[in-house]
Structure 1
Amino acid sequence: MSRKTYSLSAVAIAATAGLSFSSADGAGAFAQDAAALPAADQTATTAEELVEIVPQATVFVSEEVVQPVAEETADEPNAEITYNAASLRELVSKVDQSDDMSEQMRCLAGAVYFESRGEPLAGQLAVAQVVINRADDRRFPASYCGVVYQRAQFSFVKNGRMPRIKTGSAAWDRAKSIARIAHEEMWESEAGEAVYFHANYVRPSWSRRKTRTAQIDTHIFYR
Structure 2
Amino acid sequence: MGFGEFRTFAMAICAGLALQVLALQPSKASDLSSAFPAAGLEDALRHENAMVSAVSLSRVAVLTSPRPKERPKGSEVRYSGRWLRSLAKPSGGKQWACLAEAIYFEARGESVEGQFAVAEVILNRVDSPKFPNSICSVVRQGAGRIHACQFSYNCDGKLEYIANGTAYDQVKRVAWVSMDRKTRPLTKGATYYHATHVSPSWARRFQHVATIGVHRFYKPIRRVAEK
For Structure 1 versus Structure 2, the TM-score category normalised by the shorter chain is: 0.5 to 0.7
Going by fraction, where is helix more abundant, 1 or 2?
2
The 2-side partners of 1:159 and 1:218 are apart by 19
The 2-side partners of 1:160 and 1:95 are apart by 35
Question: What is the CA-CA distance between 1:97 and the residue it aligns to?
Answer: 3.3
Question: What is the CA-CA distance between 1:187 and the residue it aligns to?
Answer: 7.0
Matched residue SS, 1:190: coil
The 2-side partners of 1:141 and 1:202 are apart by 26
Unaligned runs of 5+ in 2: 1-60, 143-148, 220-227
Structure index of larger Rg: 1
Counterpart of 2:191, as a letter, is: V
| 2:141 aligned with 1:150 | yes
Counterpart of 1:154, as a letter, is: F
Matched residue count: 147
Matched residue SS, 2:167: helix
Question: What is the CA-CA distance between 1:163 and the residue it aligns to?
Answer: 1.2
Question: What is the CA-CA distance between 1:190 and the residue it aligns to?
Answer: 1.4
Structure 1 window deviating more from structure 2 (150-159 vs 183-192): it is: 183-192
The 1-side partners of 2:92 and 2:122 are apart by 17
| 2:87 aligned with 1:95 | yes
| 2:97 aligned with 1:106 | yes
Asked whether the 8 Å contact 1:129–1:182 carries over to 2, the reply is: yes
Asked whether the 8 Å contact 2:209–2:218 carries over to 1, the reply is: yes
The 1-side partners of 2:159 and 2:86 are apart by 27
TM-score w.r.t. length of structure 1: 0.58
Matched residue SS, 1:101: coil
Q: How many percent of aligned residue pairs carry the same amino acid?
A: 35
The 2-side partners of 1:162 and 1:97 are apart by 27
The 2-side partners of 1:158 and 1:207 are apart by 20
| 2:71 aligned with 1:81 | yes
| 2:141 aligned with 1:140 | no
Q: 1:197 to 1:86 in 2, by over 3 A?
A: closer
Question: What is the CA-CA distance between 1:169 and the residue it aligns to?
Answer: 1.1
Q: Report what 1:199 is aligned to.
A: 195
TM-score w.r.t. length of structure 2: 0.57
Q: Report what 1:44 is aligned to.
A: none
Question: What is the CA-CA distance between 1:160 and the residue it aligns to?
Answer: 10
Question: What is the CA-CA distance between 1:148 and the residue it aligns to?
Answer: 0.3
Unaligned runs of 5+ in 1: 1-70
The 1-side partners of 2:96 and 2:138 are apart by 12
| 2:156 aligned with 1:165 | no
The 2-side partners of 1:222 and 1:213 are apart by 5
Question: What is the CA-CA distance between 1:165 and the residue it aligns to?
Answer: 2.1
The 2-side partners of 1:172 and 1:182 are apart by 15
